[in-house]
A and B are shown apart, each in its own frame.
Chain A
Amino acid sequence: MQEFLTYSIYGTAFFLMLLGLYAVLMKKNLVKIVIGLTVLDSGLNLLFVAVGYISGGTAPIFSPAVVGKHVIMTDPVPQALVLTAIVIGFGVTAVALALVVRLYRKHNTTNIDEIKNLKW
Chain B
Amino acid sequence: MVITDPVYFIALPLLTAFLLPLFGKIYKPLIGIIPGLVFAFLAYISFDLYLNLVPGKPIIIQMAGWAPPWGINLVFSEFSGLIVTLITFLAFLVWVYSYNFKKVGFDNSKKYFTLLMLMVAGSIGVVLTGDIFNMFVFLEITAIYSYGLTAFYKGRDSAEAAFKYLLLGSLSSVFILLAILLLYKQVGTLNMADIAVKAQSIDPKMKSIIAILFFVGLGIEAEMFPMNGWVPDAYSQAPGPVAASFAGMLAKSGIYALIRVFYTVLEVKGVFDLLLIMGLLTIIFAEFSAMRQKHLRRMLAYSSIGQMGLIMVAFSFNTKAGIFAGLFLMFNHAIIKTLLFLSSGFLTYSTKQKKIRDLDGFGKIMPFTSLMFGLGAFAIVGLPPFSGFWGKLNMLVATADSNLYFVIALILLVAVVEIVYYFKVIGRLYFRQQHKDVEVHNPTWNAILAMSILAIVIIGVGIYPDLITDYLTKATNELFDKAGYIHSVLPNLSLN
Contact = CB atoms under 8 A, between A and B. Distances in A.
Interface string B382-393: 000000000000
Interface string B167-181: 101110110011011
B124 interface: no
A50 B237 CA distance: 41
Contacts of A33: 167
Interface residues of A, number: 32
Contacts of A115: 160, 163
A106 B153 CA distance: 13
Given A81-B133, A99-B166, A103-B160, A118 B151 contact: no
B184 A99 contact: no
B144 A91 contact: yes
B118 to A, nearest CB: 11
Contacts of A30: 163
B185 interface: yes
Contacts of A41: 170, 174
B422 interface: no
Q: How large is the interface on B (under 10, 10 to 19, 20 to 34, 35 or more residues)?
A: 35 or more
B170 A99 contact: no
Interface string A71-95: 0000101100100110010011001
B157 A95 contact: no
A96 interface: yes
B232 interface: yes
A99 B140 contact: no
A77 B137 CA distance: 14
Nearest to B289: A120
B236 interface: yes
A118 B289 contact: no
A102 interface: yes
A102 B144 contact: no
Nearest to B159: A102
Contacts of A78: 181, 184
A117 B160 contact: yes
Contact of A92 (B164, B173, B232): B173
Nearest to B148: A95
A118 B157 contact: yes
B140 A24 contact: no
A24 B174 CA distance: 12
Contact of B159 (A44, A75, A99): A99
A41 B151 CA distance: 23
A74 B276 CA distance: 41
Given A85-B177, A92-B140, A118-B232, A103 B159 contact: yes
B317 interface: no
A77 B160 contact: no
A115 B159 CA distance: 10
Interface in A15-35: 17, 24, 30, 33
Contact of A51 (B147, B154, B181, B190): B181
A118 B181 contact: no
B353 to A, nearest CB: 17
B78 interface: no
Interface in B188-203: 188, 190
B233 A24 contact: no
B429 interface: no
B160 A118 contact: yes
A100 interface: yes
A14 B185 CA distance: 16
Contacts of B237: 118
B59 interface: no
Given A41-B174, A44-B178, A106 B159 contact: yes
A75 B184 CA distance: 11
A95 B190 contact: no
B161 interface: yes
B313 interface: no
B174 A44 contact: yes
B122 to A, nearest CB: 11
Contacts of A47: 178, 181
Given A44-B177, A88-B137, A24 B167 contact: yes
A88 B144 contact: yes
Contacts of A95: 144, 147-148, 162, 166
Nearest to A107: B160
B174 A77 contact: no
Nearest to B166: A96
Interface in A24-73: 24, 30, 33, 37, 40-41, 44, 47-48, 51
20 contacts: A24-B167, A24-B171, A37-B167, A40-B174, A41-B174, A44-B178, A47-B178, A51-B185, A78-B184, A88-B140, A88-B144, A91-B144, A95-B144, A100-B163, A106-B159, A117-B157, A118-B157, A118-B161, A118-B298, A120-B292
Interface of A: 17, 24, 30, 33, 37, 40-41, 44, 47-48, 51, 75, 77-78, 81, 84-85, 88, 91-92, 95-96, 98-100, 102-103, 106, 115, 117-118, 120
Interface of B: 133, 137, 140, 143-144, 147-148, 151, 154, 157, 159-164, 166-167, 169-171, 173-174, 177-178, 180-181, 184-185, 188, 190, 232-233, 236-237, 289, 292, 298
Given A88-B173, A92-B144, 16 more contacts: A24-B171, A40-B170, A40-B174, A41-B174, A48-B181, A75-B188, A92-B140, A92-B143, A92-B173, A95-B147, A96-B163, A96-B170, A99-B159, A103-B160, A106-B157, A118-B232
